[in-house]
Structure 1
Amino acid sequence: MENQKSSSSLKAVIAVLAVLLVGSLVYIFKMTSDADVVKTELKTTLTEKESVMKDLQELKSTYDAAIAENTSMSDELIQERDKVVNLMSDLSKSKGDVASMSKYKTQFIALQGNMKVLMAENEGLKKQNTTLTAQRDSTVVVLGETKKNVEALTGQNEELAKVVEKGSKLTVLNTRGSAFKLRSSGKQIETDKASRADALRVSFTIAENQIAQSGDKTYYVQVIDSKNNVVGDKKTETFGDNTLTYSFATNVKYENKTVTVSQDLKGKNFEKGNYFVNVFDKGELVSKTSFTLK
């Protein structure tokens, strides 16, 4: 009888040990699989981190090359380059997890968009400078020959040079962008806080020009927020091969006198950061500025 009890107890112990062994094997297999998944995810995020860092380095190199050319846009280029450098610093300190990499990719895309706009403007300025230099050199040659051959016309040439210097092209200056809080009383209070802004205001001045053609003039104003989105109407106009997306168009009755233009863009939930304001005469950029909302 005792032998039967002993045999039953032994079988029970063996069964329990067998169950524990199977459970241990299943647990070890799961832990190994989970570790492999973690290693794979970590390797992927590290690769993405290296890729984004490489893209940011190329972006910085593009800005460095443009800044070295010392154009009138150098300050704006330096400001955007510093943003890239700061993002590179943040990225190098990050752990490279999936959530943070998604954030860095989004910020890189925004910076890349700003770079394309600034590079296009910079190239335009370089072409304008090249054209102006060629025109200046050509003018110097023509004036030199005229002076040699027609000394008697010196006085008339000086007067003519003054007229040509004035030019017939209108000059747009004092371009300014700002934000306003609208009170229930109708009073407008200027603010630099994005959360308080109810409207953006763009103003600019068209200078007096006595030899310019008077009449109705149309200017297209483009306001771009920190997310590289055009604020306002977002209408488009085609000029030759180029298409312009603008915030609003304003018509001005020009009578050869100085005139100031001001228009508001009402809205809400304005983005924080830098805003760029561009004023176009048809497809030509004639003035620009920027402002910041905190």
Structure 2
Amino acid sequence: MEKKKLFTGIVAGVIAIALVATIAYLYVNLDNQKKENKAMQELADLDKKEMESEYQQFANQYSEMKTQITNDSLVAQLTAEQEKTERLLKELKDTKSSDAREIARLKKELATVRAVLRSYVVEIDSLNRLNQNLTAENTRIRGQYNEATRQIEGLNTERASLTEKVAIAAQLDATGLSMQLKNKRGKKTDKTSKAKTVQVNFTIAKNVTAQNGQKTFYVRITTPSGTVLGGAGNFNYQNRSLEASMKKSVEYDGQETAITTYWNVSQSLMEGTYQVSIFADGNMIGSRSFTFK
């Protein structure tokens, strides 16, 4: 009888220990689950705030773009898109971050708003460029008209025409343009990864009408990504300041003149097509593209 009681006590003890262990495990697991849920909620809140910020930025951009144009039809389109963006922003603010389905829908709408905004940015930029070109063209034409009027009044039409022809004839011309990559031994290579020096050669054609004297030639190399291999300062071209890759000053006497310039590779060169342009006296006098592996 005592053995039976002892056995019953042992079983009861084991069951009690197992029960305590199970309760402890469930408590720890529940606590971990709460922590994970809290972390996920914090991430959801952060994601929602970032979306709200983007919606607000896009709405502000629409408002700013409307101040840059005078086209009533385009302004109306931008206003409609701005109102839509503000409506979606309000919907987002009224949505709980835990509403995964609604957040996903508004995130998809955000991507659409971003794409539409990008298309308007491109369109307005094109219109602005067109307006700038038209303004410049009108200014040029108006200047030509005034000049023609002065020429007629002063009986200088023929003289001015001759001067213009001489100026055009005096413009220099770069021929035989080449670009070579040199390795550390100074040998030619077609692989950008082995290039240590970029060599650009060109010849200034004979031009007896050009003004003789010291002239500076600027070489500008544009990489496949659109950046410029800089390092030689800036120069002016068509009322803009452009960055030069190399430059070289020579004494020009109107005869054919060969010129060689070098650029030391200070950055990793990518594969693709490079555009090389030559400038002198405020004019682009030669340009050519080269492709390297």
Q: TM-score, normalised by structure 2?
A: 0.54
Alignment of 1:269 onto 2:272:
no
Q: Secondary structure at the match of 2:22?
A: helix
Alignment of 1:44 onto 2:47:
yes
**Residue of structure 1 equivalent to 2:143:** 135
The structure number with the bigger radius of gyration is 2
Q: Secondary structure at the match of 1:271?
A: coil
**Residue of structure 2 equivalent to 1:15:** 17
**Residue of structure 1 equivalent to 2:165:** 165
Q: Secondary structure at the match of 1:167?
A: helix
Counterpart of 2:142, as a letter, is A
Q: Secondary structure at the match of 1:256?
A: coil
Q: TM-score, normalised by structure 1?
A: 0.54
Equivalences, count: 229
Q: 1:202 touches 1:262 (CA, 8 Å); kept in 2?
A: yes
List gaps (5 residues or longer) in structure 1.
72-121
Matches within 5 A, 1:149-228: 157-158=157-158, 160-167=160-167, 170-171=171-172, 173=174, 178-180=179-181, 182=183, 188=188, 191=190, 193-195=191-193, 197-204=195-202, 206=204, 209-226=207-224
Q: CA deviation at 1:33?
A: 3.0
Matches within 5 A, 1:26-105: 26-38=28-40, 40-41=42-43, 44=47, 47=51, 61-67=120-126
Counterpart of 1:263, as a letter, is T
Q: 1:176 touches 1:290 (CA, 8 Å); kept in 2?
A: no
Q: CA deviation at 1:216?
A: 1.1
Q: CA deviation at 1:261?
A: 3.2
Alignment of 1:249 onto 2:250:
no
1:136-192 per-position Cα deviation (integer Å, ceiling 9, x unaligned) = 22333334445xxx5xx8xxx5365123222176445559564435596x6535x3x
Q: 1:206 touches 1:260 (CA, 8 Å); kept in 2?
A: yes
Q: 2:234 touches 2:243 (CA, 8 Å); kept in 1?
A: yes
CA distance in 1, matches of 2:166, 2:179: 31
CA distance in 2, matches of 1:285, 1:41: 57
Identity across matched positions, percent: 18
- Root-mean-square deviation (CA, aligned residues, Å) is 4.7
Q: Secondary structure at the match of 2:270?
A: coil
Counterpart of 2:22, as a letter, is L
Q: Secondary structure at the match of 1:22?
A: helix
